[in-house]
Amino acid sequence: MTFENVSFSHDGEHRVLDGVDLTLAPGTTTALVGPSGAGKSTLASLLPRFWDPDEGTVRVGGKDLRDLAPEEIYRRMSFVFQDVRLLRDTVRANLLIARPDATDEQLADAARRARIHDRITELPRGYDSVVGEDARFSGGEAQRLSIARAMLADTPSSSWTRRPRTRTPSRRRPCRTPCRSSRTAAPCW
Ligand SMILES: Nc1ncnc2c1ncn2[C@@H]1O[C@H](COP(=O)(O)OP(=O)(O)O)[C@@H](O)[C@H]1O
Ligand SMILES: [Mg+2]
């Protein structure tokens, strides 16, 4: 993933990001460290395209994010946010969002790695328990579910299918994201 001369302002006046150049190499881990309000979350938010840069380009696998369908971005990247929201649906459905064809074994493996499998199996209906009805998760548990979801997605960052440039979302409005379920109005993250 690369940021090339990326600048961004939330209000059109104060530049939160100013000419950021950054290369995140495959197989590496990067931590952004800085004081509150420095722009860490803003920088990270450009990857799921909550916003697009005012200037510069964000690329993944060499492709401008703006040239990729939202579905492709979410198929190739996983996000674990601080404030996790879960769908009012089964635990299974919540985990399968990014990879609907995953087997039960893959599901359990991801949940084990996120240290949430045992908690799920102790629920009355296990993976078929409905979040908010059979199961109430704490913030930390919801975060573990979000981590399990990301692990299950097992997102690579190569081989892209190109798509013609289409409508670019307005700079200062959050983009439409593909994670809204048709079954519920609640955003999944
Ligand atoms: N949605 C928003 N609308 C307007 N200003 C914002 C928004 N999000 C963050 N900011 C402002 O952008 C700056 C950077 O915030 P942020 O990226 O959240 O910093 P960090 O994650 O490093 O604490 C702050 O001045 C913050 O007030
Ligand atoms: Mg932050």
The range of the structural domain enclosing residue 121 comes to: 91-153
Q: Do residue 49 and residue 101 come from a single domain?
A: no
Which residue in 12, 76, 77 sits closest to 44, CA to CA? 77
Strands 15-23 and 55-60, by their bridges, are: unpaired
How many CB atoms are closer than 10 A to CB 149? 26
Q: Count structural domains, the chain.
A: 2
* Confidence band of 179 (pLDDT split at 50, 70, 90): very low
Residue located nearest, by CA, to atom 24 of ligand 1: 37
In this prediction, residue 158 carries a pLDDT of: 28
In this prediction, residue 188 carries a pLDDT of: 32
The answer to whether 167 and 129 have CB atoms below 8 angstroms apart is: no
- The residue among 18 and 135 whose pLDDT is bigger is 18
Any domain includes 66: yes
Any domain includes 127: yes
Any domain includes 11: yes
Q: Do residue 29 and residue 65 come from a single domain?
A: yes
DSSP state of 130: B
One-letter identity of residue 28: T
**Residue 53 CB–ligand 1 contact under 6 Å:** no
Q: Do residue 96 and residue 71 come from a single domain?
A: no
For ligand 2, a single-atom ion, the residues with CB < 5 A are: 40-41
The answer to whether 10 and 43 have CB atoms below 8 angstroms apart is: no
pTM over 0.85: no
Q: Do residue 48 and residue 104 come from a single domain?
A: no
Q: How far is the CA of 40 from the centre of ligand 1 (A)?
A: 8
In this prediction, residue 64 carries a pLDDT of: 96
The CATH number of whichever domain residue 59 belongs to comes to 3.40.50.300
Read off the pLDDT of residues 121-175 as tens digits, 9 standing for 90 and up: 999 999 999 999 988 999 999 999 999 998 888 765 422 323 334 444 444 444 3
